[in-house]
């Protein structure tokens, strides 16, 4: 019997997704570049093997599928996707649909769609291996009619929040991959802010990794409940048997990255969308990998971190600061999505996006449910101005301020939290300092400015006559 869907690429994510599809009652045919991988995958599929058809060539894969066909590509982003599409197209009919479920750059997805050599959509899939296996969050893009064709399968395999599948069509063209990139940018900032607070507890407050783990676990029972806080607690509590020390203390402090956070930052600049916390997080990862430079700097200037005097900060202050930082970071991320909706003419419904992120994905958290509500009330206003979050920030910004100030005084680097605070203060300064920039621009380039008492543009200072 022909299979309901095909899948190409049995790496970690592809294999997990294929098992998820089979477990949800769909017959799936799979193909991998290395035949041995396909064979081993099938052998290890247990009860699900009956629903899985391993194939040894693209021809065989295509022949094993119900028509019109749906094939998911789960291959590394970039050239491998183009190569796979080129190899497949000649074998496919005009109504067959390819779905790129990898972490593609949305510009590539746009390009592939516009090439229009056949039906194609891009979807963002989040949740790591466990999510792919048991219920990811799925961000759909492309032609809505094409999404609809695959929706019964994608909704079935997606995680459910209050019975609703976290799998939605979010916008035209590469919108699914765009939303996934912003998700990853937020993921970077969320992770970075947790790491910064960890650093304050470790270097400023002299706490051990297991103690920090216990604090994070406690936070995970309150407003900060989220997957990233939960796993950070687990990471902090882990013990290294080889050295009899906390595992965290023996992990090298240089963060890896595959590039999605960087794409978000680059795109934010194109859109002139301010996402300073996400930018700070990407920069922090880049700096983290410059270990030699950091060691040289420490040798020249002395180690930056100094202990805080007892009682200067407590963990409740850190929790409040983290909540404030998180609200501001998400406000930036959603603001960037709103800017993209306008620039690209895409749908990108902000409340729906918050809902799709409530479960399954890496940034899932209780707060996203409140964000979905706040964005439903008014998706055009900055999320930080929604009454629920504004009320929170009115008090929690003081904790963020205390943390950032003490961190600055004691050499504890908190770039994402610090930039969150600067963003917040900028947002509530109606009379900023860009009048000086305008004066400077006019001075050296006669670019012109506007006066507070006269709206006409192109006015100049006295230097224009010199």
Catalytic residue IDs: 180, 187
Q: Is 20 in the site for ligand 6PG (CB under 6 A)?
A: no
| Shortest distance, position 347 Cβ to ligand 6PG, whole Å | 21
Q: Is 84 in the site for ligand 6PG (CB under 6 A)?
A: no
Cα dist. 388→171, 336, 399 in Å? 27, 21, 18
Our CB check for ligand 6PG shows the closer of 12 and 117 to be 12
11 binds ligand 6PG (CB under 6 A): no
Between strands 137-141 and 160-161, the pairing is: unpaired
User: Given the complex with ligand 6PG, which of 257 and 438 has the nearer CB atom?
Assistant: 257
Given a contact cutoff of 8 angstroms between Cβ atoms, the answer to whether 146 and 119 are in contact is yes
Nearest distance in Å: CB 371, ligand 6PG = 17
For residue 226, state whether it binds ligand 6PG (rule: CB under 6 A).
no
Give the residue, chosen from 111, 114, 239, 258, that forms a contact with ligand 6PG under the rule CB under 6 A.
258
DSSP 8-state class, residue 224: T
Stretch that binds ligand 6PG, among 164-172, 223-231, 255-263, 415-423 (CB under 6 A): 255-263
Closer to ligand 6PG by CB, 352 or 442: give it: 352
- Among the listed ranges 65-73, 160-168, 250-258, 416-424, the one in contact with ligand 6PG (CB under 6 A) is 250-258
Q: Say what angle helices 106-115 and 175-199 make with each other, to 10 degrees.
A: 170
User: 128 or 351: whose CB is closer to ligand 6PG?
Assistant: 128
Run of H or E residues at 264 = helix 260-271
User: Per-residue string for binding with ligand 6PG, 186-205, x by CB under 6 A?
Assistant: -x------------------
Q: Under DSSP, is residue 121 helix (H, G, I), strand (E, B) or coil?
A: strand
Q: Find out whether 22 and 45 touch, Cβ atoms under 8 Å.
A: yes
Question: Cβ 129 to ligand 6PG, closest distance in Å?
Answer: 9
379 SS3 class: coil
Candidates 95, 97, 124; CA nearest to 109 is 124
Nearest to 120 by CA among 91, 89, 151, 90: 89
- Nearer CB in complex with ligand 6PG: 354/404: 354
Tell which residue, 92, 67, 90, has the closest CA to residue 149.
67
Report the distance separating Cα 380 and Cα 361, nearest Å: 24
Rank residues 127 and 333 by Cβ distance to ligand 6PG and give the closer one. 127
Buried b (16+ CB within 10 A) or exposed e, 25-37: ebbbbbbbeeeeb
Q: What is d(CA 191, CA 256) in angstroms, rounded to the nearest whole number? A: 13
- Interface with ligand 6PG (CB under 6 A), residue total 13
Of the candidate residues 139, 362, 372, 383, the single one contacting ligand 6PG (CB under 6 A): 362
Nearest CB to ligand 6PG, comparing residues 187 and 442: 187
Q: Which two tokens stand for residue 73?
A: 């590509």
Kindly tell me which residue out of 102, 127, 171, 349 binds ligand 6PG, with binding defined by CB under 6 A. 127
Q: Which listed residue (3, 32, 84, 103) binds ligand 6PG by CB under 6 A?
A: 103
What tokens appear for 354 in the block? 């918050």
Question: Among residue numbers 383 through 412, which ones bind ligand 6PG (CB under 6 A)?
Answer: none
Given the rule CB under 6 A, which residues bind ligand 6PG? 103, 126-128, 184, 187, 256-258, 260-261, 361-362
């Amino acid at each position: 019997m022909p299979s309901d869907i095909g899948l190409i690429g049995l790496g970690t994510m592809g294999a997990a997704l294929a098992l998820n599809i089979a477990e949800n009652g769909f017959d799936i045919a799979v193909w991998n570049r290395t035949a041995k991988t396909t064979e081993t995958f099938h052998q290890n599929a247990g009860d699900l093997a009956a629903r899985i058809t391993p194939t040894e060539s693209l021809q065989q894969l295509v022949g094993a599928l119900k028509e019109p066909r749906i094939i998911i590509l789960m291959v590394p982003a970039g050239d491998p996707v183009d190569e796979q599409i080129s190899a497949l197209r000649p074998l496919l009919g005009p109504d067959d649909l390819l779905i790129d479920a990898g972490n593609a750059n949305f510009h590539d997805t746009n390009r592939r769609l516009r090439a229009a050599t056949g039906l194609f959509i891009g979807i963002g899939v989040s949740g790591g291996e466990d999510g792919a296996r048991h219920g990811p969050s799925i961000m759909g893009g492309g032609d809505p009619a094409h999404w609809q064709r695959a929706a019964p399968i994608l909704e079935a395999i997606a995680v459910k929040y209050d019975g609703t599948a976290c799998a939605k069509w979010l916008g035209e063209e590469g919108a699914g991959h765009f939303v996934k990139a912003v998700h990853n940018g937020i993921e970077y900032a969320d992770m970075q802010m947790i790491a910064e607070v960890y650093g304050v507890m470790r270097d400023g407050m002299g706490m051990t990794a297991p103690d920090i783990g216990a604090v994070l676990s406690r936070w995970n029972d309150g407003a900060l409940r989220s997957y990233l806080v939960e796993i950070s607690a687990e990471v902090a509590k882990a013990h290294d048997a080889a050295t009899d020390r906390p595992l965290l203390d023996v992990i090298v402090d240089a963060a890896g990255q595959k590039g999605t956070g960087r794409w978000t930052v680059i795109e934010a600049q194109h859109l002139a969308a301010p996402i300073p916390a996400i930018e700070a997080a990407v920069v922090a990862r880049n700096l983290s990998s410059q270990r030699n430079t950091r060691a040289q700097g420490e040798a020249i200037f002395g180690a930056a971190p100094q202990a805080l005097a007892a009682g200067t900060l407590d963990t409740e202050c850190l929790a409040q600061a983290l909540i404030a930082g998180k609200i501001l970071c998400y406000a930036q991320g959603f603001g960037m999505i709103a800017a993209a909706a306008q620039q690209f003419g895409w749908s990108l419904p902000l409340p729906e996006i918050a809902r799709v992120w409530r479960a399954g994905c890496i940034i899932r958290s209780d707060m996203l449910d409140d964000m979905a509500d706040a964005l439903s009330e008014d998706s055009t206003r900055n999320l930080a101005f929604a009454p629920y979050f504004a009320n929170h920030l009115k008090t929690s910004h003081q904790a963020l301020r205390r943390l950032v100030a003490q961190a600055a005084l004691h050499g504890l680097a908190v770039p994402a939290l610090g930039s969150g605070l600067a963003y917040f203060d900028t947002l509530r300064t109606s009379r900023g300092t860009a009048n000086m920039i305008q004066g400077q621009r006019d001075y050296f380039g006669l670019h012109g400015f506007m006066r507070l008492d006269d709206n006409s543009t192109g006015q100049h200072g006295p230097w224009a006559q010199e």
